[in-house]
Structure 1
Amino acid sequence: MSLAGRLAGAVDTALDRTIAPGYSRVGYAVRSRLPGWPEDPEPGALAGRHVLVTGASSGLGTQTARELAALGAHVQLVVRDRAKGEAVRAGLAAELGEVFTLRTCDLGDLEAVARLADELAAEELPLAALVHNAGALPATRTESPQGHELSMALHVLAPVLLTERLLPHLAGQATRVVLVTSGGMYAQPLRDDDPEYLTGDYSGTTAYARSKRVQVELLPVLQRRWSGAGLHVYATHPGWADTPGVLESLPTFHKVTSPVLRDLHQGVDTTVWLSAVRPAPAGGSLWHDRRVRPVALTSKTRSTPGQVDRTWRWVCETLELPEEV
């Protein structure tokens, strides 16, 4: 590697490990100008293909849909609130044309997720990517219709179930699966002993981070499981992005950091890049700013294979899936 390449790598790593500079708009601005910044997807890279984006009615979800459509995709917008989703769909269509289909689904409800998967499979859409972006940060412990802690149901169980139910249809399509996670997961260890947050004083922020920790820890498991169907599995965290969710759920954080928060384009850049760039990067890893990142930064949050195995067993038992396929 050239000296310039080594220096660029050192700057990139320093930004990543110091958190605040790397997660802010400063980190994106610096990295995107360093030597070795990966090329953008080609114009029209998704022409003739469909992409599914959950949580598409605001913030990062809407921006992801916008940028994927700009690359030629027909975007399936999955929302919970149909009226809000229809307003977003109409706005996007006015910008980019009638290349958006609205679908309503409460992703916290596993029965609704199964129905959505069956609906999509019946239509046999050429799906280039599934972007699992939907998220929530409940202030108090909330259960899904099936009795699961809502953060875990929405961020882990729903994406796995939706992808699993679509798997026979996706075989051979080289589909990308992108889990939009959070840098907050770096603060939490994998709680394989209490995935439903049944013990201790409940914190919505902690529950959110724990569920995001599960997402990244399961990446190698999901890549092995789904690779036979030709899928590439990634997680990406957007850094500190200025979204309605951050403003609503973390108002103090938003107020303090607002001068350096990323705009929506910067927040979705790697999600869009992973969904469209050719050839597909190797799956099974966490990404941020178009680079693979470690899933743990300290020994306190580093998981053991046994913890990951027990967590995956809980997911399979909960969703009634075989552990191996």
Structure 2
Amino acid sequence: MAGDFLDTRIGKGIGRIVDTVMDRTIVPGYTKIGFAVRSRFWPADPPPDALEGCTAVVTGANSGLGKAAVGGLAALGATVHMVVRDAAKGAAARDEVLAEHPDAHLEVQECDVSDLTSVRAFAEKFAAEHGSLDVLVHNAGTLPPERAETADGNEITLATHVLGPFLLTALLRPALAAARGRVVFVTSGGMYTSGLRTDDPQYADGEYSGARAYARTKRMQVVLAQEWARRLGPDGVVAHSTHPGWADTPGVTASLPGFNKVMGPLLRTPEQGADTVVWLAAAPEATRLTGRFWHDRRPRPTHFGPWTKETADQRAALWDLCVARTGVEP
């Protein structure tokens, strides 16, 4: 017995070391190699009926990570609202998920997360029809080739990744509180390359880069998840962020064709990329902590160097920006 216990402790210790090395060296940890290795010793899957009777909202749900998350949540019993910009594409995605999960309860909801008017309309409709919300997954994303603005006058990646999710969380806060629910931001490991840029949040200065705008706003999501965690705590609601590693999704193929061509054989499936999203939505471990940044079912550092660390003033400035641009004070 003592020997078995010691072997288990040693095995877990070695696993933790291997996991950390893969994480810091990026390629092994972010690809399907990391998924295959870590899945041998990570926390247990949620029970098969973990979300029975629960309601979930997933944005960007018609393809890639979003559709995979819908399937994973539905498989655990949740009624999933698939929030999409294009209702026809959403219906097609719903049919694909139903083909794999015939008993799933899915509803397609049309909403452009980058459009604040559209977000308000969806949130008001949802709140009127549903008294509570167990899981809110902010997955909608974009990586534009050039700078563009929404009808609200916001740079498109800021609107999609930051302002829309901020507004949706604020408007659905009472429903989340009623269920003591969970909020999950699907971000990116690319945020490690950027600090919190509150001096030029709309990316109005300098030569625009879609990849840099993506990294900047993904950093903002990680910070906002922490800020929401602090504010939602008294409601019994937890908030987390997670990155999927490098997954083979339509977004990667369209936005980064060169990367997809080189890394293709090592890319994760969408289901592997969405695994921690689903786990955070259902596993009991996710309620014992809040405001963490996760990858492969384990909390990860939010910074790898001091040059990207934000100040308290920058965090406050980001929150104030979201309040000012959305017109809500949570």
TM over 0.5: yes
What is residue 95 of structure 2 aligned with on the other side?
A: 90
Q: Is the 8 A contact 2:31 2:266 kept in 1?
A: yes
Is 1:71 the counterpart of 2:70? The answer is: no
TM-score for both structures, normalised by structure 2: 0.94
Per-residue deviation at 1:291?
A: 0.5
Aligned-partner SS, 1:131? strand
Aligned-partner SS, 2:97? helix
Aligned to 2:125, which of 119, 143, 154? 119
Aligned to 2:21, which of 14, 28, 34? 14
What is residue 264 of structure 2 aligned with on the other side?
A: 258
Q: Is the 8 A contact 2:133 2:175 kept in 1?
A: no
Is 1:320 the counterpart of 2:327? The answer is: yes
Distance 2:302 2:49 in 1: 32
Partner amino acid for 1:318? R
Q: Is the 8 A contact 1:50 1:125 kept in 2?
A: no
Aligned-partner SS, 1:172? helix
What is residue 165 of structure 1 aligned with on the other side?
A: 171
Aligned to 2:155, which of 149, 156, 164? 149
Q: Is the 8 A contact 2:133 2:178 kept in 1?
A: no
Would the alpha carbon gap of residues 183 and 133 (structure 1) be closer, same or farther in structure 2, given more than 3 Å must change? same
Partner amino acid for 1:312? W
Partner amino acid for 2:273? G
Distance 2:243 2:99 in 1: 29
What is residue 36 of structure 2 aligned with on the other side?
A: 29
Q: Is the 8 A contact 2:194 2:216 kept in 1?
A: yes
Per-residue deviation at 1:98?
A: 5.2
Distance 2:20 2:97 in 1: 36
Would the alpha carbon gap of residues 168 and 125 (structure 1) be closer, same or farther in structure 2, given more than 3 Å must change? closer
Distance 1:263 1:94 in 2: 18
What is residue 47 of structure 1 aligned with on the other side?
A: 52
Distance 2:10 2:163 in 1: 45
Per-residue deviation at 1:107?
A: 1.0
Partner amino acid for 2:88? A
Q: Is the 8 A contact 1:181 1:212 kept in 2?
A: yes
Per-residue deviation at 1:93?
A: 2.4
Aligned to 1:292, which of 293, 299, 303? 299
Aligned-partner SS, 1:137? coil
What is residue 67 of structure 2 aligned with on the other side?
A: 62
Q: Deviations over 1:143-166 (max 9, x none)?
A: 111000110111011111111111
Aligned-partner SS, 1:272? helix
- Please list, as runs of the form range in 1=range in 2, the aligned pairs for 1:116-265 lying within 5 A after superposition: 116-265=122-271
Aligned-partner SS, 2:134? strand
Per-residue deviation at 1:67?
A: 1.0
Aligned-partner SS, 1:177? strand
Aligned-partner SS, 1:76? strand
Partner amino acid for 1:42? P
Moved over 6 A (4+): none
Q: How many residues align?
A: 321
Partner amino acid for 1:104? E
Q: Is the 8 A contact 2:226 2:240 kept in 1?
A: no
Out of 251-260 and 83-92, give the one that drifted further: 83-92
Per-residue deviation at 1:126?
A: 3.8
* Cα RMSD after superposing both structures: 1.4
TM-score for both structures, normalised by structure 1: 0.95
Flag structure 2 segments of 5+ consecutive residues without an equivalent: 1-5
Q: Is the 8 A contact 2:131 2:178 kept in 1?
A: no
What is residue 305 of structure 1 aligned with on the other side?
A: 312
Q: Is the 8 A contact 1:108 1:145 kept in 2?
A: no
Distance 1:87 1:266 in 2: 22
